[in-house]
Structure 1
């Protein structure tokens, strides 16, 4: 069961004095392969990066920098080893519960989630601001290079959405954004809530994270900023392009 994923464990800076033992392969991730393993009385999560990360808009070196900040802030698992050139990320395992989306109907849990996201947005990190127009166009170049069959709606919406994004760029206050705040990436452990899977994180538009909370958790649209409608549309469009790249058929 995935023993090849542990190849090279001897040089990982974990202080292991015995071979690691795989406990199980972790489900939920759609991009990479991850396993839970144990060694020397500790449990770790190992992620082997997907080979098509760049096509999906993932910058592993940016992710590494962000992980160092959010791990230090205590809102993400402790990072034990991050080697983008090797395609390896090893973090501490948080033994906790993934809340279903409906759980935020409880006021206490909703406030905890919103507070966690606010902590992300308050962190300072020196990175370029994401250009959402360029991000979409990067997806499109990959789609066209692979000659994928594109639904007519995605083609028809493209020009209008890009024009609206031209007016957005440079007109928002950039903050650190997770960009993938789905329930599977939020875990409630003994030390509170933490966020997993930072590979799409970047300095960007706070309204985008808010749009994910509305779309994936059913949180009221009242929390959206004045451009919230555009943020929801942008999130849905990027998700559609991502799904096409992951499983689309060629013409």
Structure 2
């Protein structure tokens, strides 16, 4: 029985690695061919079809005859390391500002964003805190730190986001109440938060439903992008924190829509 269990785990890891490599190939080259993937990964054509079907459902690619191509939205999603480097200084300023809205003893929810991760890196002095998150880098960062109790949301692990997503994660989020939710998004367009992944939206919405205070972390780059899936209107947030590089016209437009905005200056 034990040997079967190990084989199943090894098979799952191999499957995840193969799908992640296919996803990276599509992002890098814009397209892949099934016969090429069969040769590279040493699996059957039916297995590759199943991989592409899953990646298509997740929004990473679009299947075509004989292969798959990238989607416009997929180009917005990259590795955690790459996302952390985008507007890194702005995210750091926003994170320091966000700490003003966190007090010891609270339950703080953090989504699978690198903006939220920037806040997590600063949480230790605010302990004791309970942190609820579906983002593996936050779980790894905070686990074992004195005064920080971490609750990880289980679900389907998505290597591209390094997070647990899907129905199971959303269901668990619905059972937990937080005092403050720190959340970000792919893009902000016409007063609405948009994201490239429906699975991510599902969990973010669940976290929003159960938070007493909802704080959106939105650096200036979010207002220059586009995405497919609507998360929520900005008016669903109690506060939106932007950085000082956000154009004044954008800030005025948000306030004109009735959105509470604070600017992280330092």
TM-score (norm 1): 0.29
TM-score (norm 2): 0.27
Which of the pair has the greater relative contact order for Cα pairs under 8 Å at 6+ separation? 1
Higher strand share: 2
